[in-house]
């Protein structure tokens, strides 16, 4: 049988590499090793070639993005995952490993990552015998298929579109607080991939238990023995420009996890930390007898509910779990939508900041849960909107006009500290735009600015 490349890295790593690939047309392989690490590139390169995203000259030892890779890069930079998936879908359907697993999925409806790995090993005569190797190849293949729409992959299971999964296992015990979870995820987000010994060395021995909670919530994934990688969901929780939306993102994370059913059972109940600990003991099977231990777990899970704004205080030490009806992504943005209309909770304390543009002032109201929202538009604001209109509607012939509009937008916003991350991002994209001349690069920047100001521009 001819040598077949089987995917060993997940779609998240592939996207991260393409996004960060140097802007030079052709790169020396040694430079790529220095930038990303030799072992990572050794795993990535065969898959990137399989997906036809790079052109690799083995003789000259040079690497560059293919035409497809450049289109894929633009799609992911502009957060258009639907387009990115479509770009690589047709090629994937012709590749033997993906075709084989897709047909297998149609037959079986549901496949675990380990089962996929075993089937690939048998089909393509691989002598693997380690379950973790099966899982690594299986999860990589499943994540790519899921990304292009051939199935849905979540928590180690690939299922046919529309096929429901009944998971029998109970969620892991909530052994750490929200702050601990955030700390672990934020730490891994800075380096993307990390081994357990590094985590223990930097965050302490307890992290070996706490990491399991992060995996259960879908924020971190185990990609190899004692090797962890941040997921897109994890990155979304901790990335700097989402800080004002943490309660909404965290609530969505909980409702997409196995803890959802527990929270639904608790809705509208009046509880103490001890009550909550006893509830966890009963439904997850903690088998705790010490009241102190029961209270400790109750306190940790209470921090999860509090951070998600799912708890209201009735009296000292007594709380009520708030009911959430038909939870969805759309609902998480409810408060933001209300803020656009100027509808605010009278108990929330608001602070005003002014953006001065010559003699024209735009008043921005800062609110603890909604971030910044526009209260009074004027000439300065309309100048902002004008530049955004030019950027979003420009064609290839408007190259210089678009550049000037971006520069003016940067000038309007650069003196405000809370827009710092927006300015950094759009300046980077301006340099890239000069090469690829595609205004879609700026669409994600505009969305970020909308979130910062708290309404649609």
pLDDT at residue 409, as a whole number:
87
Cα separation of 308 and 321, whole Å?
11
pLDDT at residue 162, as a whole number:
59
Tokens of 84: 């990115």
The larger pLDDT score, comparing residue 372 to residue 442, is at 442
Least confident of 16-30, 335-349, 427-441: 335-349
Cα separation of 325 and 323, whole Å?
6
Domain presence at residue 448? yes
Cα separation of 401 and 413, whole Å?
19
- In this structure, are 16 and 151 located in the same domain? yes
Average pLDDT over residues 6-23: 87
DSSP classification of residue 396: G
Given a cut of 60, is residue 368 above it in pLDDT?
no
- In this structure, are 24 and 71 located in the same domain? yes
pLDDT tens-digit profile of 262-271? 898 898 889 9
Could you report how far apart the first and last alpha carbons of the chain are, in Å? 57
Phi, psi at residue 323, to the nearest 5°?
-85, 135
Tokens of 246: 């943490």
Average pLDDT over residues 290-298: 91
Banded pLDDT at 366 (limits 50, 70, 90): very low
- In this structure, are 72 and 153 located in the same domain? yes
The larger pLDDT score, comparing residue 224 to residue 324, is at 324
- In this structure, are 201 and 261 located in the same domain? no
Nearest Cα residue to 272 out of 290, 288, 293, 295 = 295
pLDDT at residue 285, as a whole number:
72
Least confident of 86-100, 150-164, 368-382: 368-382
DSSP classification of residue 439: G
Q: Characterize 382-391 residue by residue with b for buried, 16 or more Cβ atoms within 10 angstroms of its Cβ, and e for exposed.
A: ebbeebbebb
Banded pLDDT at 180 (limits 50, 70, 90): very high
- In this structure, are 224 and 308 located in the same domain? no
Domain boundary among 240, 272, 289: 240
Given a cut of 90, is residue 177 above it in pLDDT?
yes
- In this structure, are 269 and 209 located in the same domain? no
Token pair 């004027």 is at which residue? 378
- In this structure, are 275 and 413 located in the same domain? no
- In this structure, are 152 and 204 located in the same domain? no
pLDDT at residue 397, as a whole number:
67
CATH of the domain at 197: 1.10.10
Domain presence at residue 366? no
Average pLDDT over residues 393-406: 80
Given a cut of 50, is residue 332 above it in pLDDT?
no
Tokens of 341: 């209309």
The larger pLDDT score, comparing residue 47 to residue 377, is at 47
Banded pLDDT at 373 (limits 50, 70, 90): very low
pLDDT at residue 178, as a whole number:
94
The larger pLDDT score, comparing residue 400 to residue 449, is at 400
Given a cut of 80, is residue 8 above it in pLDDT?
yes
Query: How large is the C-alpha radius of gyration of the chain?
Result: 24
pLDDT at residue 358, as a whole number:
36
Least confident of 151-160, 195-204, 336-345: 336-345
The parent domain of residue 278 ranges over 251-329
- In this structure, are 149 and 29 located in the same domain? yes
Tokens of 287: 């088998």
* Top mean-pLDDT range of 42-46, 129-133, 351-355: 42-46
- In this structure, are 308 and 205 located in the same domain? no
pLDDT at residue 299, as a whole number:
94
Count of CB atoms situated within 10 Å of the CB of 11:
24
Given a cut of 50, is residue 352 above it in pLDDT?
no
pLDDT at residue 275, as a whole number:
92
Domain presence at residue 201? yes
Domain presence at residue 354? no
Domain boundary among 159, 193, 215: 159
pLDDT at residue 355, as a whole number:
31
pLDDT at residue 374, as a whole number:
37
* Top mean-pLDDT range of 171-175, 316-320, 337-341, 362-366: 316-320
Domain presence at residue 353? no
- In this structure, are 223 and 298 located in the same domain? no
152-161 long-range Cβ contacts below 8 angstroms, 24+ apart: 154/218, 155/218, 156/112, 156/113, 156/114, 157/110, 157/111, 157/112, 157/113, 158/101, 158/105, 158/110, 158/111, 158/112, 158/113, 158/116, 159/105, 159/109, 159/110, 159/111, 160/105, 160/106, 160/109, 160/110
**CA 155 from centre of chain:** 15
Banded pLDDT at 455 (limits 50, 70, 90): very low
pLDDT at residue 319, as a whole number:
92
The per-residue pLDDT of the chain, averaged, comes to 78
Cα separation of 438 and 442, whole Å?
9
Residues 6+ away with beta carbon under 8 Å from 326: none
Domain boundary among 240, 259, 287: 240
Given a cut of 80, is residue 167 above it in pLDDT?
no
Residues 6+ away with beta carbon under 8 Å from 222: 215, 228, 229
- In this structure, are 15 and 134 located in the same domain? yes
Banded pLDDT at 54 (limits 50, 70, 90): very high
Banded pLDDT at 424 (limits 50, 70, 90): confident
Domain presence at residue 346? no
Given a cut of 90, is residue 22 above it in pLDDT?
no
pLDDT at residue 224, as a whole number:
64
Domain presence at residue 123? yes
Structural domain count of the chain: 4
Domain presence at residue 102? yes
């Amino acid at each position: 049988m001819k040598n077949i490349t089987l995917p060993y890295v997940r779609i998240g790593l592939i996207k991260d590499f393409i996004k960060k690939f140097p802007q030079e047309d052709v790169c020396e392989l040694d430079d790529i090793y220095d930038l990303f690490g030799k072992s990572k590139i050794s795993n990535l390169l065969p898959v990137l070639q399989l997906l036809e995203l790079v052109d690799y000259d083995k003789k000259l030892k040079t690497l560059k993005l293919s035409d497809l890779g450049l289109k894929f890069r633009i799609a992911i930079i502009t957060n258009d995952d639907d387009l990115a998936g479509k770009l690589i879908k047709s090629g994937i359907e012709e590749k033997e490993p993906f075709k084989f697993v897709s047909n297998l999925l149609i037959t079986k409806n549901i496949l675990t990552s380990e089962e996929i790995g075993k089937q690939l090993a048998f089909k393509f005569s691989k002598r693997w015998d380690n379950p973790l190797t099966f899982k690594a190849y299986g999860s990589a293949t499943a994540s790519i298929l899921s990304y292009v729409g051939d199935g849905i992959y979540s928590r180690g299971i690939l299922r046919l579109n529309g096929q429901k999964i009944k998971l029998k296992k109970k969620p892991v015990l909530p052994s750490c607080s929200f702050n601990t979870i955030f700390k672990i995820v934020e730490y891994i987000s800075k380096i993307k991939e990390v081994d357990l010994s590094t985590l223990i060395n930097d965050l302490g021995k307890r992290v070996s238990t706490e990491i399991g909670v992060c995996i259960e919530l879908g924020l971190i994934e185990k990609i190899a023995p004692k090797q962890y990688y941040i997921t897109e969901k994890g990155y979304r929780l901790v990335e700097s420009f989402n800080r004002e939306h943490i309660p909404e993102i965290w609530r969505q994370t909980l409702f997409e996890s196995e803890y959802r059913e527990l929270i639904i059972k608790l809705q509208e109940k009046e509880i103490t930390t001890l009550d909550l600990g006893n509830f966890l003991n009963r439904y997850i099977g903690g088998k705790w007898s010490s009241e102190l231990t029961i209270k400790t777990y109750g306190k940790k899970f209470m921090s999860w509910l509090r951070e998600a704004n799912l708890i209201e205080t009735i009296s000292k030490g007594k709380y009520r779990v708030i009911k959430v009806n038909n939870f969805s992504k759309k609902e998480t943005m409810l408060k933001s939508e209300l803020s656009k209309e100027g509808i605010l909770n009278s108990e929330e304390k608001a602070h005003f900041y002014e953006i001065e543009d010559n003699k024209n002032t735009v008043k921005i109201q800062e609110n603890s849960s909604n971030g910044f929202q526009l209260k009074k538009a004027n000439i300065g604001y309309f100048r902002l909107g004008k530049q955004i209109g030019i950027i979003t509607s420009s064609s290839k012939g408007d190259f210089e006009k678009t550049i000037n509009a971006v520069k003016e937008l940067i000038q309007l916003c650069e003196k405000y500290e809370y827009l710092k991350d927006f300015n950094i991002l759009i300046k980077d994209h301006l340099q890239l735009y000069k090469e690829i001349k595609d205004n879609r690069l700026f669409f994600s920047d505009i969305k970020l600015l909308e979130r910062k100001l708290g309404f649609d521009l």
